[in-house]
Structure 1
Amino acid sequence: MSRIAAGLLREPRLATVWGERSALAEFSVGGLAGHLAYQVLAIPQIVREPIPMEPTITLLEHYARVQWIDAKLDDEISVRIRAGGDQLAVDGPQALAEQLDAAIQQLESDLSTTPDRSVRISLWGPWSLMLDDMLVTRMMELAVHSDDLAVSLGVPTPAFPDSAMQVVVDLLTRLALRRHGQTPVLRALSRSERSPASIAAF
């Protein structure tokens, strides 16, 4: 998934709209590209760090704790996320693409030798995830923000392997069930005449 998402950073139009508003509220196109790249750029450091002391929780418990899901655009966590994307984008699309390509190459080696163990991203809070679960969170972010960036550029959203999208859709469905309940999700997936307006996961 990471190489497919990285292809968006090589789109010729990206440089021309870098400073413009993106399809994601309050993000510039460049900041959104930086946030997309961060989903991969954060991983090499994570897998090299010692096993964290913080408690390890489940994937769904992680999403029950993260602040960004229900945050408003001007909340501190939202501002911090956008600032992180802007910081990564400061040197422009070419530099960001090269940085992302290098991280992907590094991860091809690192992940092949790293066992499924507890890891954490300090931005989340005082808890850890198993590496496999953390990678699921990155897969979801890559899929969602690749769509955001593609729409911002006016290019087709890239297609990811079915196996990867099944993991992403499974996670989003479970989050939608928790947010909306069984009946709305059931109807959205099976009965167009009774489908609710939205079953967005967040």
Structure 2
Amino acid sequence: MPPARKRARRYDPAKIRAAVLAQSGHVRAGIRTLTPEQLAAPTRLGDWTVRELAAHVSLALGSVVRALEAPEPARQEVALLDWPFATVTAADRIDEDTRALAAGSGPYELYARTEAAFAAALPGAPDDRLVPMRFGAMRLGDFLVTRTVELIVHTDDLNDATGLGIPYDRQALAACTRLLADALAVKAPGGSVEVRVPPYAVVQCVEGPRHTRGTPPNVVETDPLTWIRLATGRTDWDAAVGGAKVAASGERAHLAGLLPLLGQG
């Protein structure tokens, strides 16, 4: 796990909570409409069907509930910018837990029950409370930022598999985009490349001459969903550039070797 040398940006706790609840509501509404044929359809996540994918989103949201039910840890072990790099270490456990959950309740009933428990657990829980999660103790406020990544990424997976067109909450999409952009700056610290994901994020990264004035010599620009798909391995760099989803100028503006940042689970 690369050390989180970059200071994490500040997120408005109230906006993050509202964003998680809003995106969760969009996901619930989408899952409610899934037919048996859609639930059995393949996804871009290995051999998971839509049923497993829906269970996984419940698992991601329910992790907050389970964390708040547990005793508070004595000390923080994971910072917000550590989390993206820790995710790749838990792929096997996540797969096992997801399959076990998918084998139980129906996807909509499971998700609705999980969301209700989440909404009930959140009020009164302070953002600086430490909570246990898969990779160690983390601030609740930071953990909720990571839930915007889980919800937005898997909303996109559900849309890709089913064509449902589940909406993306603007605040959740913004937080997801920013956290993944900041993770790139942690993984490849420097100032020779400017990565722009309008309207949500701009970061500088990659060792080399630092740009200080005017237009940077090395620029990468893309839209939020393309950036999220690149950062999570849903699409590859050459395909995105070839499909005009990414504009890259300058000899250092080639990020293929730095992506993805998260695993695909």
TM over 0.5: yes
Task: Judge conservation of contact 1:173–1:201 (CA < 8 Å) in 2.
Answer: no
SS across alignment from 2:172? helix
Task: Judge conservation of contact 2:57–2:151 (CA < 8 Å) in 1.
Answer: yes
Task: Judge conservation of contact 2:52–2:98 (CA < 8 Å) in 1.
Answer: yes
The percent of aligned pairs where both chains have the same amino acid is: 21
The code of the aligned residue for 1:128 comes to A
Change (3 A) 1:200 1:154: same
Q: TM-score, normalised by structure 1?
A: 0.79
SS across alignment from 1:91? coil
Structure ranking higher in helix proportion: 1
SS across alignment from 1:81? helix
Task: Judge conservation of contact 1:56–1:118 (CA < 8 Å) in 2.
Answer: no
Match among 45, 53, 61 for residue 40 of structure 1 = 61
Alignment of 1:68-87 (within 5 A): 68-69=87-88, 77-87=90-100
Separation of aligned partners in 1, 2:104 and 2:120: 27
Alignment of 1:78-117 (within 5 A): 78-91=91-104, 95-116=106-127, 117=129
- 1:201 is aligned to 261
Q: TM-score, normalised by structure 2?
A: 0.62
Structure ranking higher in strand proportion: 2
My pick for the range that moved more, 128-137 or 81-90, is 81-90
Separation of aligned partners in 2, 1:83 and 1:37: 14
Greater relative contact order, per chain length (Cα 8 Å cut-off, separation 6+): 1
Q: Structure 1 residue runs of 4+, over 6 Å off?
A: none
Structure 2 gap segments, 5+ residues each? 1-22, 197-218, 223-245
1:41-60: per-residue Cα shift (whole Å, max 9, x none)? 22212112211135333211
Q: Does 1:185 align with 2:185?
A: no
- Cα shift at 1:197: 6.3
Match among 30, 46, 52 for residue 25 of structure 1 = 46
Give the structure with higher Rg (CA).
2
Match among 7, 21, 28 for residue 6 of structure 1 = 28
- Cα shift at 1:193: 4.8
- 1:166 is aligned to 174
